[in-house]
């Protein structure tokens, strides 16, 4: 216990900003996205019996969140990272929300994807799921994800991980199919473990550094003993690697993502693994760059195996959404590759890839959902004939396959270009080959899916001229909601692929702030010690 | 800033894409006239391009472009010189006829709109490819040509052969393209230049770099796959699954020449070395002989033409490998000649197919009287294939022989590799000529054979293109002086990086040159081949039956192997058994906590145990007993209770070390866990005993011990240094005066770290919703009844089933 004199001394040493200055009104926008999402989550629970208003309310709140985030994005672009500390207990004491480019970029991606999914869901809507709190869970998931992207406090990050995990667990089981329960068990066990590993690592880190503020950690970590701090970094690598579904701890993803409604798959595909990827970039680059260097061979190994095994998994699958799940994993390999060649280009590439993957993987799941609707099957062997049947869905699917494979001029190409460039610059032939082989294997897997589902006119084993007679056209509501939502998302992906300048600029800033934390640290008000 | 010229030049590549978007709409409104309407696009590009001829022929260059990705320094930049302009004119010119031709060829096809969209997109990609200056722009268009080619080969989508050929072409050309990307980036990193035009200043310098060979091999991988060089040649004959206009345009006249274009483009930068010469000559030569021989084996018109296309591409690559001035002139002449006559021949083959319903050469004959215009086009086309005098192909042939006869006949005999090269070219040319003659004579002369469809001459748009291209091939030959000024010098000079002056004349001096007599030898041999073609074909077929092996089969075997391998790997890693997944995860955990400490040699020393009072010892003892009891418990219920005992002991330790809040929480958690676990046990009728076999118990127990030891050791290592008390000190100091609370733990929960608490409250709310949903499954879920009654078996079975 501190004595009275010590108390006095501490009180006097407090920065005046902590006592006298209130948080500027404009800075409240930093916490607003999370606050809106949480409040709306609670309100939607109360509204759960009025089905009509829920969707509109949820969509409007996500739009409000998006508006806040775009405002933040502009501020970060113009003046650098923004920070707000809860209760004005200035760092390292209270919880800071520190929004830098990578955080706000991912947060925008997440909210946008959520909005698209909410619109898409209008066609699949199941009354029971809505009554059971579907929209509430969506908003809470968004709150968790957004909080994770924006928080500047490591323990607070853990809290958002928990929110996200339990909300996603709820969404996974809400349909109540048997398959979903089995999936939820695997998903739940492995993800709870991952979160727990994160917590264990966090405890050790606090034991060594005595601080939880990320900016403060990046300042004090170099003083910590190398062995234990590397162990902590290894724990983070394991925990976030599991969340991101990297090889070899990714079994939960292919076991669970294809079981809920396509809209929920899409939301998971867009959001969950990316939070893991984000946390990896944040902890291993901004917080513990020294340990990342020690772990470099491990990261390279994970990257190479994930990049190569994931598309092979997609190649082996006959369940469409399971195959897409493997493509999601492949993208995580690309993020790891960026982490393995952490020059400005490499990190920018990894960041870019994660952002691209948010949009593209969501879109792939949405399109897969439409295909399942039309073919009334989940297995590609029983699909076929969609090419003749529905042009928009066909066009979207093939565009997304090439976007996922990273062929130019689609969105996925640019991050791979950056990573390959970084790899060649460091003469890391392994990473370069793995990234390129991943592109090739992904296009093989994707075009095979395309050939089976779209080009082949009937089901597997049918005569060539036999047309798939189980196809049914999309209903009016499916056209109005689901198709429109998917088309808008794909349009955004295409436009960003053709004019990637803004994203390039953003990820360059994001990478430079991750690699040189000065701006991040000073935004929180901490002194950068030379 | 963007000038009008910049925009219009960039539109060369972009306009076809815009047209492609509207093509299906146009098709809906114009139906039969669509081909005529849409051909306006390539035609206007052609006309626009012709306006550059004077400037380029005068030795000038045109640059254009705009910033594409400014923050990455990437420009969408175009560069017009003789080489790219010639390609551009060929693409847009032939493209005009192809669009017209497709309008008639696919009339009434239910996907004609899509077809036009694809082919226009291809045209835009190809134009972009040849005009691109920036290497990334070039690569983007390069892969776009692969993608559009994929869509066009698979156009006849109901047939499995088409789908397979499409994927095969994409895998090979796309894969080569990716290798090329690595090469291009390395080139950029060596020179700091993204622009090809900027790389010319490094001619000769790059070849001396250490990375020259990897760069060369990677770029060649791109060029060889695209231009169907041996051993990547087999996708091209398979690509003939595409409708004939596609074969004529993509797989003969333009796309497959992209590789040759790339080699010609990079000749000044990467060429001139021994490696370049040897690799190109050998691969080109083998491809030439292989393609020409395979052509003899075929009886399908399109297959015959496809194989000769492979051979021609080999010839072009070989000439680029030889690389002297005459060889480069030959490349330019042959490039133009081939694009014209082969495009024409494909259209002829398509017209014959369209008119008779078959492409089998053995089933055709005597069509000349019925299809006079097509016959005329075929005669000129075959004259080109044979390199007959007056055609531009004749001069091409003269020049390629001249390239190897630079020191006369005696010089040739002194150079065995030149002798070999000339023999290869001679044989290759003769074989191709034999194939050409076979097509012409067997299809159009002799007696008329019955065919599936009553033969008739096609409409204007079916034969006009072939005829015009054929006439063009003759015109450029007759007016060789004009060709020299407008074609050879402006095109060959950038390839050769020197001003090239071919001095070609159509006069009597021809007969004084040795190469003329080699040409005569070629013709003689070609006629012999034609005369014996049936015999040769029989022999070749017998041979390949004996061999029973092909590259195509190898590709299938590899693809099949890949799928099987994927299947095995995925089964291995994603078996669906949760306990094994957990095992992997915990192995990872043990490695994460232990290996860094061992690796960094940071294992902590044994801690000094301070003297503990007896009650502390006894609590420790209880905890230890609880743990041991968990391990040796016979039934699960006992294990659960023992774990609870251990937990209570830990809670007591918390209490003794001044953390009452924590302690109370721990008591609650432990109590609830025991109750809930016991309930789960009884309600779900789980087995009383753990049914794992000994090996599993040993494995799991061992891993658990390792993890526990690891956690402890790491904890000890962390405790080596005193805890930084900044945060606790501040909380203690400010709790009362600033936060107005006496219970620090409460103040931490609601003030200092209030947001965490808010988050945790939302976790509880969310968990509530999830549980609500779970409970309701029993009432209204899709699988009620059976599932809920026998939960014990369900848990195990479904796990394995997934």
pLDDT at site B122? 94
Handedness of CA B276, B278, B282, B288 (dihedral sign): positive
Residues in contact with B618: Cβ distance below 8 Å, sequence separation at least 6, in sequence order: none
pLDDT surpassing 50 at residue B781: no
Model pLDDT for residues B398-436, shown as the tens digit of each residue? 888 888 887 777 777 778 888 888 889 889 988 988 888
Give the model's confidence band at A529: pLDDT under 50 very low, under 70 low, under 90 confident, else very high: low
As given in the structure block, the two tokens for residue B97 are: 């006829």
Q: Parse chain B into domains and list their residue ranges.
A: 753-802
From A251's Cα to the closest Cα of chain B, the distance in A is 6
What b/e readout covers B662-697, taking b as 16+ CB neighbours within 10 angstroms? ebeebbeebeeebeebeeebeeeeeeeeeeeeeeee
Phi, psi values for residue A385, rounded to 5°: 85, 5
Q: Which residues of B touch A402 (CB under 8 A)?
A: 147
The C-alpha angle with vertex B295 and arms to B292 and B301, in degrees rounded to 5, equals: 140
Between CA B591 and CA B718 the distance in angstroms is: 17
What percent of chain B lies above the pLDDT cut of 90? Answer: 30
φ, ψ of residue A83 in degrees (nearest 5)? -135, 150
Q: How far is CA B282 from CA B290, B395, B427, in A?
A: 12, 24, 15
- Chain B neighbors of A226, CB-CB under 8 A: 600, 602
- Residue B243 φ/ψ, nearest 5 degrees: -55, 150
What distance in Å separates residue A112's CA from the closest CA in chain B? 22
pLDDT at position B519: 84
Q: Is residue A233 part of a domain?
A: no
Nearest to A137 among B170, B720, B766 (CB): B766
Q: What is the DSSP string of A384-428?
A: --HHHH-HHHHHHHHHHHHHHHT-TTSTTHHHHHHHHHHHHHTT-
Cα angle value A324/A328/A331 (rounded, 5°): 135
In a domain, A416, yes or no: yes
Tokens standing for A127? Answer: 């009354």
Q: Which residues pair with B64 in a beta bridge?
A: B78
Confidence of residue A305 (pLDDT cuts 50, 70, 90): very high
**Mean pLDDT rounded to a whole number for chain A:** 91
pLDDT at B506: 62
Q: Does A166 contact B70 at a Cβ distance shorter than 8 Å? A: no
Range of the domain at A344: 295-498
Identify the pLDDT of residue A398.
94
Mean pLDDT of A424-448: 94
**pLDDT attached to residue A244:** 94
CA angle, corner B257, sides to B155 and B188, nearest 5?
A: 110
- Return the closest-CA partner of residue B270 out of B329, B334, B192, B190: B190
Q: How confident is the model at residue B787 (pLDDT cuts 50, 70, 90)?
A: very low
Nearest CA in chain B to A162: B763
Residue A384 belongs to a domain: yes
Q: Which residue of A has its CA nearest to B155?
A: A455
The answer to which of A8-12, A67-71, A159-163, A272-276 has the lowest mean pLDDT is A8-12
Of the two residues B498 and B23, the one the predictor is more confident about is: B23
Burial B422-434 (b: 16+ CB within 10 A, else e): bebbbbbbbbbbb
Is the per-residue pLDDT at B507 higher than 70?
no
B789 confidence band (pLDDT: 50, 70, 90): very low
SS (H, E, C) B117-142: HHHHHHHHHHHHHHHECEHHHHHHHH
Chosen from A182, A256, A446, A465 to mutate, greatest number of chain B CBs within 10 A:
A182
Say if A357 falls within a structural domain.
Answer: yes
Tokens of A351: 């960041």
> Which two three-digit tokens encode residue B372?
């006079």
Q: What is the pLDDT of residue A301?
A: 96
Q: Dump pLDDT digits (tens) for B587-620.
A: 999 999 999 999 888 888 887 777 788 888 899 8
Are A231 and B724 an interchain contact pair (Cβ–Cβ within 8 Å)? no
Do the chains contact at B150 and A447, CB–CB below 8 Å?
yes
Chain B residues with CB under 8 Å of A156 CB are: 753, 755-756, 759
Residue range B717-752, pLDDT digits in tens? 998 888 888 888 888 888 888 888 888 888 998 989
If you write DSSP's letter for every residue of A282-336 in order, what string do you get?
A: IIIIII-HHHHHHTHHHHHHHHHHHHHHHHHHHHH--BHHHHHHHHHHHHHHHHH
Residue B795 confidence (pLDDT)? 36
For chain B, what is the mean pLDDT? 85
Partner-chain contact A176 B68, CB within 8 Å: no
CB contact under 8 A, B585 and A230: no
Which residue of A lies nearest to B757 if distances are taken between CA atoms? A159
Cα–Cα distance, B130 to B132 (Å, whole number): 6
Residue B65 sits at φ, ψ, to 5 deg, of: 155, 175
Instruction: Answer whether residue A240 shows pLDDT above 90.
Output: yes
Whole-number Cα distances in Å, A322 to A314, A355, A441, B443: 7, 21, 16, 53
Instruction: List, for residues A125-144, the tens digit of each pLDDT value.
Output: 666 677 778 899 999 999 99
Number of structural domains (chain A) is 1
Residue B284 contacts residue B320 (beta carbons within 8 Å): yes
Mean pLDDT to the nearest integer, A103-127: 91
pLDDT at A275 over 80: yes
Q: How confident is the model at residue B371 (pLDDT cuts 50, 70, 90)?
A: confident
Look at the pTM and tell me if it is higher than 0.90: yes
CA distance linking residue B263 with residue A528, whole number of Å: 53
Residue A347 has pLDDT above 90, yes or no: yes
**Is residue A80 a contact partner of residue A74, using CB atoms and an 8 Å limit?**
no
* H helix runs in B255-300, sequence order: 257-270, 274-297
Of B174, B601, B753, the CB nearest to A440: B174
Q: Which residues of A touch B136 (CB under 8 A)?
A: 408, 417
User: What is the H or E stretch that residue B63 is in?
Assistant: strand B62-69
Give me the pLDDT at residue B534, please: 84
- Inspect the interface and report whether the beta carbons of B766 and A209 lie closer than 8 Å: no
Does the structure show a pLDDT above 50 at A444? yes
Burial of B185 (0-12, 13-18, 19+ CB in 10 A): buried
Tens of pLDDT, residues A90-109: 888 889 999 999 999 999 99
The angle that helices A101-121 and A344-375 make with each other, rounded to 10 degrees, is 0
Q: Which ipTM score applies to this complex? A: 0.94
**Long-range Cβ contact pairs of B770-777 (< 8 A, separation 24 or more):** B770/A137, B770/A166, B770/A167, B770/A169, B770/A170, B770/A173, B770/A174, B772/A132, B772/A133, B773/A132, B773/A133, B773/A170, B773/A173, B773/A174, B773/A176, B774/A173, B776/A128, B776/A132, B776/A176, B777/A173, B777/A176, B777/A181
Of B567, B717, B759, the CB nearest to A163: B759
Helix, strand or coil, per DSSP, at residue A463: coil
CB atoms within 10 A of CB B330: 30
Dist CA A119 CA A58 (whole Å): 10
The answer on pLDDT for B344 being more than 80 is: yes
Q: Which of A1, A128, A313 sits opposite B570 (nearest CB)?
A: A313
Statement: residue A400 has pLDDT above 60: yes
* Start-to-end Cα distance in chain B: 60
Model confidence pLDDT, tens digit, residues B627-686: 888 878 888 888 899 999 999 999 999 998 888 888 999 999 999 999 998 888 888 877
For residue A485, which of A273, A270, A229 has the smallest C-alpha distance?
A: A270
């Amino acid at each position: 216990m501190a004595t009275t004199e010590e108390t006095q001394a501490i009180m006097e040493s407090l920065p005046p900003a902590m006592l006298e200055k209130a948080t500027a009104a404009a800075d409240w926008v930093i916490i607003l996205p999370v606050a809106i999402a949480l409040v709306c989550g609670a309100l939607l629970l109360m509204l759960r019996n009025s089905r009509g208003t829920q969707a509109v309310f949820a969509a409007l709140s996500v739009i409000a969140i998006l508006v806040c985030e775009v405002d933040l994005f502009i501020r970060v672009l113009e003046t650098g990272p923004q920070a707000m500390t809860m209760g004005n207990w200035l760092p390292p004491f209270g919880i800071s929300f520190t929004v830098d480019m990578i955080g706000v970029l991912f947060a925008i991606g997440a909210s946008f994807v959520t909005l698209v999914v909410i619109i898409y869901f209008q066609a699949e809507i199941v009354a029971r799921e809505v009554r059971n709190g579907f929209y509430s869970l969506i908003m809470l998931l968004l709150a968790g994800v957004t909080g994770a992207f924006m928080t500047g406090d490591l323990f607070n990050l853990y809290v958002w991980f928990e929110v996200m995990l339990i909300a996603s667990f709820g969404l996974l089981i809400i349909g109540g199919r048997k398959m979903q329960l089995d999936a939820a068990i695997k998903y739940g066990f492995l993800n709870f473990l991952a979160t727990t590993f994160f917590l264990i690592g966090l405890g050790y880190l606090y034991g060594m550094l005595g601080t939880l503020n990320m900016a403060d950690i990046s300042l004090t970590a170099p003083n910590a003993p190398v062995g234990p701090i590397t162990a902590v970094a290894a724990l983070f690598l394991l925990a976030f690697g599991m969340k991101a579904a990297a090889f070899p701890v990714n079994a939960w993803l292919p076991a669970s993502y294809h079981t809920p409604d396509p809209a929920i798959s899409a939301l998971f595909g867009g959001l969950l693994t990316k939070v893991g990827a984000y946390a990896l970039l944040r902890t291993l680059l901004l917080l513990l760059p020294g340990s990342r260097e020690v772990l470099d061979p491990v990261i390279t190994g994970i990257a190479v195996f994930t990049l190569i095994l994931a598309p092979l998994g997609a190649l082996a699958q006959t369940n469409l959404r399971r195959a897409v799940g493997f493509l999601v994993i492949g993208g995580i390999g690309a993020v790891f590759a960026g982490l393995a060649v952490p020059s400005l280009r490499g990190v920018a590439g990894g960041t870019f890839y994660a952002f691209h993957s948010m949009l593209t993987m969501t879109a792939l799941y949405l399109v897969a959902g439409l295909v399942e609707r039309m073919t009334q099957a989940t297995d590609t062997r029983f699909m076929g004939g969609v090419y003749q049947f529905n042009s928009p869905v066909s066009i979207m699917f093939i565009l997304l396959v090439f976007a996922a494979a990273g062929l130019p001029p689609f969105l996925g190409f640019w991050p791979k270009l950056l990573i390959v460039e970084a790899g060649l610059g460091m003469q890391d032939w392994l990473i370069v080959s793995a990234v390129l082989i991943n592109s090739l294997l992904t296009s093989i897997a994707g075009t095979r899916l395309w050939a089976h589902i779209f080009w082949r006119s009937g089901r597997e084993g049918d005569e060539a001229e036999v047309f798939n007679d189980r196809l049914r056209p999309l209903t009016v509501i499916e056209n109005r909601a689901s198709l429109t939502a998917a088309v808008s998302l794909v349009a955004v992906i295409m436009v960003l692929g053709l004019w990637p300048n803004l994203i390039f600029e953003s990820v360059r800033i994001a990478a430079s702030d991750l690699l040189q934390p000065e701006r991040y640290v000073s935004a929180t008000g901490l002194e950068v010690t030379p | 800033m963007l000038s009008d010229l910049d925009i219009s030049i960039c539109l060369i590549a972009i306009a076809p894409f815009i047209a492609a978007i509207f093509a299906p709409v146009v098709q809906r409104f114009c139906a039969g006239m669509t081909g005529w309407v849409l051909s306006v696009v390539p035609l206007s590009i052609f006309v626009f391009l012709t306006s550059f001829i004077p400037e380029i022929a005068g030795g000038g260059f045109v640059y254009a472009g705009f910033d594409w990705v400014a923050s990455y320094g990437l420009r969408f930049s175009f560069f017009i010189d003789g080489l790219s302009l010639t390609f551009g004119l060929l693409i847009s010119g032939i493209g005009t006829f192809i669009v017209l031709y497709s309008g008639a060829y696919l009339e009434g096809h239910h996907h004609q709109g899509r077809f036009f969209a694809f082919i226009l997109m291809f045209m835009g990609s190809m134009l972009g490819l040849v005009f691109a200056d920036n290497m990334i722009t070039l690569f983007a268009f390069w892969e776009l040509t692969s993608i559009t080619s994929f869509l066009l080969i698979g156009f006849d989508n109901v047939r499995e052969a088409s789908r397979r050929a499409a994927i095969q072409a994409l895998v090979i050309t796309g894969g080569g393209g990716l290798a090329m990307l690595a090469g291009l980036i390395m080139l950029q990193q060596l020179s700091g230049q993204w622009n090809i035009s900027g790389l010319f200043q490094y001619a000769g310098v790059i070849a001396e770099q250490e990375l020259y060979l990897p760069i060369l091999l990677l770029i060649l991988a791109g060029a060889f796959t695209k231009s169907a060089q041996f051993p990547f040649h087999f996708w091209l004959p398979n690509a003939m699954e595409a409708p004939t206009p596609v074969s004529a345009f993509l797989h003969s006249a333009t796309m497959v020449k992209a590789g040759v274009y790339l080699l010609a483009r990079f000749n000044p930068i990467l060429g001139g070395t021994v490696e370049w010469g040897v690799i190109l000559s050998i691969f080109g030569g083998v491809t030439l002989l292989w393609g020409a021989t395979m052509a003899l084996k075929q009886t399908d018109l399109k297959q015959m033409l496809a194989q000769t296309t492979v051979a021609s591409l080999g010839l072009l690559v070989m000439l680029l490998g030889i690389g002297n001035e005459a060889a480069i002139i030959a490349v330019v002449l042959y490039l133009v000649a081939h694009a014209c006559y082969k495009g024409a021949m494909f259209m002829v083959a398509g017209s014959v197919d369209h008119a008779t319903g078959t492409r089998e050469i053995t089933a055709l004959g005597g069509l000349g009287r019925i299809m006079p215009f097509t016959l005329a086009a075929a005669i000129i086309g075959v004259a080109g294939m044979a390199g007959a005098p007056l055609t531009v192909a004749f001069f091409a042939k003269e020049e390629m022989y001249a390239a190897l006869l630079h020191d006369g006949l005696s010089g040739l005999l002194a150079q065995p590799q030149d002798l070999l090269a000339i023999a290869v070219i001679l044989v290759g040319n003769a074989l191709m000529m034999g194939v050409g003659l076979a097509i012409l004579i067997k299809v159009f002369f002799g007696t008329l054979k019955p065919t599936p469809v009553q033969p008739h001459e096609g409409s204007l748009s079916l034969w006009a293109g072939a005829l015009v291209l054929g006439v063009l091939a003759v015109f450029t030959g007759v007016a060789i002086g004009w060709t020299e000024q407008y074609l050879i010098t402006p095109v060959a000079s950038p390839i050769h990086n020197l001003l090239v002056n071919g001095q070609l004349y159509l006069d009597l001096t021809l007969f004084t040159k040795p190469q003329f007599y080699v040409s005569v030898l070629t013709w003689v041999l070609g006629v012999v081949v034609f005369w014996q073609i049936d015999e040769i074909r029989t022999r070749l077929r017998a041979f390949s039956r004996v061999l029973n092996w092909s590259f195509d089969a190898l590709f299938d075997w590899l693809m099949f192997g890949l799928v099987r391998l994927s299947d095995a790997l995925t089964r291995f890693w994603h078996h669906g058994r949760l306990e094994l997944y957990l095992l992997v995860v915990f192995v990872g955990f043990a490695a994460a906590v232990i290996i860094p400490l061992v690796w960094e040699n940071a294992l902590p020393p044994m801690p000094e145990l301070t003297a503990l009072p007896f009650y502390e010892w006894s609590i420790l003892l209880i905890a230890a007993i609880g743990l041991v009891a968990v391990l040796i418990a016979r039934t699960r219920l006992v294990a659960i209770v023992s774990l609870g005992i251990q937990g209570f002991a830990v809670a007591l330790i918390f209490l003794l070390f001044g953390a009452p809040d924590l302690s109370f929480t721990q008591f609650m958690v432990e109590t609830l866990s025991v109750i809930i676990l016991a309930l789960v046990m009884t309600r779900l009728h789980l087995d009383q005993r753990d049914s794992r076999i000994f090996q599993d118990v040993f494995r799991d127990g061992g891993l658990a011990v390792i993890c526990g030891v690891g956690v402890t050791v790491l904890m000890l290592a962390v405790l080596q240094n005193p805890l930084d008390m900044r945060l606790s000190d501040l909380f203690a100091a400010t709790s009362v005066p600033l936060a107005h609370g006496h219970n620090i733990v409460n103040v931490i929960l609601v003030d200092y770290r209030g947001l965490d608490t808010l988050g945790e409250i939302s976790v509880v709310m969310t968990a509530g919703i999830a549980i609500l949903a779970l409970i309701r499954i029993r009432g209204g879920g899709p699988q009620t009844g059976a599932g809920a009654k026998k939960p014990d078996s369900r848990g195990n079975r479904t796990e394995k089933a997934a």
